[in-house]
């Protein structure tokens, strides 16, 4: 008999930490990391989540989330939208009054994401090797509470990000984040570019890496 997986997801890990990125940076948060991703970004720092993990029911996931006693939950990956049933989990989290953020690569549509979710869409710059996967239709689906992130490896990435920011007037749609690729682009260099060009963006660095390094589950 085939096991019913209608309310199950392949989960790589669930952990409690400080949010290291986005405008929620610094807040104690439960991270629900789904297994799998259709992209292969050159600088990916979560390759360990491409496989492995275990099947968990929505109920089991919510029970583990509740143990950590925080109102903030981040659904991430891998690429969480690659598992279609993630929307069922997100809806359950919203119904339970959690503040939910969703980290997605921007290659898959966010059209079915619950309107109360804070969508954090990572548009891929040339240096990622996956720029052609960007679904720009997602930019018509963001609101002022959502965020579009650019992870930048070099000056070419930066110039592309500025051009894209202006072309789609992204800062008029939602909040915009610029982030340097860790150990590739010095944060100070990105800061100087942003200031020189008077960009309407928020620069961020990965707080969790400054606290715990590259240890998974932190």
From the annotation, which residues make up the binding site? Answer: 18-20, 33, 37, 41, 43-46, 76, 78
SS3 11: strand
Binding site listing for substrate: 18-20, 33, 76
| Binding region for Mg(2+) | 46
Residues β-bridged to residue 40: none
Of 32, 31, 37, give the one whose Cα is nearest residue 11. 32
- What order of strands is seen across the sheet that includes strand 175-180? 54-57, 8-18, 28-34, 72-76, 99-104, 118-123, 147-152, 175-180, 202-203
Residues with Cβ within 8 Å of residue 43, at least 6 apart in sequence: 127, 128, 151, 153, 181, 182, 184
Annotated binding site for S-adenosyl-L-methionine: 43-45, 78
CA 72 to chain centroid? 14
């Amino acid at each position: 008999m085939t096991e019913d997986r209608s309310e199950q997801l392949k989960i790589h890990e669930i952990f409690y930490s400080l949010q290291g990125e986005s405008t929620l940076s610094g807040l104690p948060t439960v991270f629900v990391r789904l297994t799998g991703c259709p992209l292969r970004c050159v600088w990916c720092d979560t390759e360990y989540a491409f496989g492995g993990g275990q099947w968990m029911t929505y109920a089991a996931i919510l029970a583990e989330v509740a143990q950590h006693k925080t109102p903030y939950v981040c659904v991430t990956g891998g690429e969480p939208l690659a598992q279609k049933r993630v929307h069922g989990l997100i809806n359950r989290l919203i119904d339970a009054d959690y503040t939910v953020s969703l980290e997605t690569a921007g290659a898959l549509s966010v059209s079915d994401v619950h309107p109360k979710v804070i969508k954090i869409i990572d548009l891929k710059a040339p240096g990622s090797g996956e720029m052609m996967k960007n679904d720009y239709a997602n930019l018509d689906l963001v609101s002022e509470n959502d965020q579009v992130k650019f992870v930048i490896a070099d000056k070419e990435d930066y110039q592309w990000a500025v051009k894209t920011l202006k072309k789609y007037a992204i800062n008029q749609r939602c909040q915009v984040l610029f982030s340097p690729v860790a150990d590739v682009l010095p944060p100070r260099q990105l800061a100087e570019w942003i200031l020189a060009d008077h960009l309407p963006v928020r620069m961020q660095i990965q707080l969790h890496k400054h606290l715990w390094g590259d240890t998974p589950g932190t």
